[in-house]
Amino acid sequence: MDKNTDFIFQKRVERTIENLEKNNIEAFFVQDEKELIDKIMDLVPENATVSVGGSMTLFETGVIEHLRSGRYNFLDRYKEGLSMDDIKEIYRKSFFADAYFTSSNAITEEGEIYNVDGNGNRVAAMIYGPDKVIIVAGINKIVKDLDEAIERNRAMSAPANAKRLNKNTPCAKIGYCMDCTSPERICRNYVLIKSQGKKGRMYVIFVNKHFGY
Ligand code: SF4
């Protein structure tokens, strides 16, 4: 990355971390995937029960592979051959996990976390249940404020996910949200996490790269 744009991203990360901490959300900045995995091992002990929300970032950063390493009791929703009932059971068991991993659609410089879900299993577990929630995000997920977070979802996260999932929605054809009424709509639950009551429950780990949508 050019050193001047790197400087701008560094400052944005610093502001965001400062404001997340004010909201009782601990945040870290790591440079690459190796530092990310080291940080995860600091935060989550061996044999912990862990689960994940749907996320491209977790695949791209190697977190899913790490969770499959045998170090943890991983409730693996991506395991081959699972039935819909098996997946439903994993979603429900995830509320009892020691640590829940996910990414985010946008994280504001004001220290807020914005996510839009179809099922709602991800946002439900982020809000309540798991003892720890660990959000892994590339620096591309940082936005200025809630308005930019909403716009980011409409212009990038949701259309890209609809395309990835081969949904029959307008955004998957034109590349922008039309606030559709499609039966295949993937945006149904819009959640802004402003703060945590319990310090030490929610963490954000920024990785100094671009990941996911
Ligand atoms: S509301 Fe519909 S059109 Fe908008 S991003 Fe979601 S699925 Fe696409």
**In a domain? residue 97:** yes
CA 135 to chain centre: 5
Domain count, the chain: 1
**In a domain? residue 10:** yes
Q: What is the CATH number of the domain that holds 200?
A: 3.40.50.10420
pLDDT at 2: 87
Kindly report, residue by residue over 20-78, the tens digit of the pLDDT.
Answer: 999 999 999 999 999 999 999 999 999 999 999 999 999 999 999 999 999 999 999 99
**In a domain? residue 152:** no
Is 160 buried (19+), middle (13-18) or exposed (0-12) by CB count in 10 A? middle
Sort strands 202-207 and 26-30 into parallel, antiparallel or unpaired.
parallel
Please give the residue range of the domain that contains residue 82: 3-109+119-142+193-207
CA 153 to chain centre: 13
Asked if residue 116 lies in contact with residue 148, where contact means CB atoms within 8 angstroms, the answer is: no
Kindly report, residue by residue over 129-184, the tens digit of the pLDDT.
Answer: 999 999 999 999 999 999 999 999 999 999 999 999 999 999 999 999 999 999 99
**In a domain? residue 176:** no
C-alpha 48 – ligand 1 centre gap (Å): 36
- Rounded to an integer, what distance in angstroms lies between the CA atom of residue 139 and that of residue 47? 30
Q: Is the CB of 177 under 6 A from ligand 1?
A: yes
**In testing the pocket of ligand 1, which one of 157, 177, 189 has its CB within 8 Å of the most ligand atoms?**
177
**In a domain? residue 127:** yes
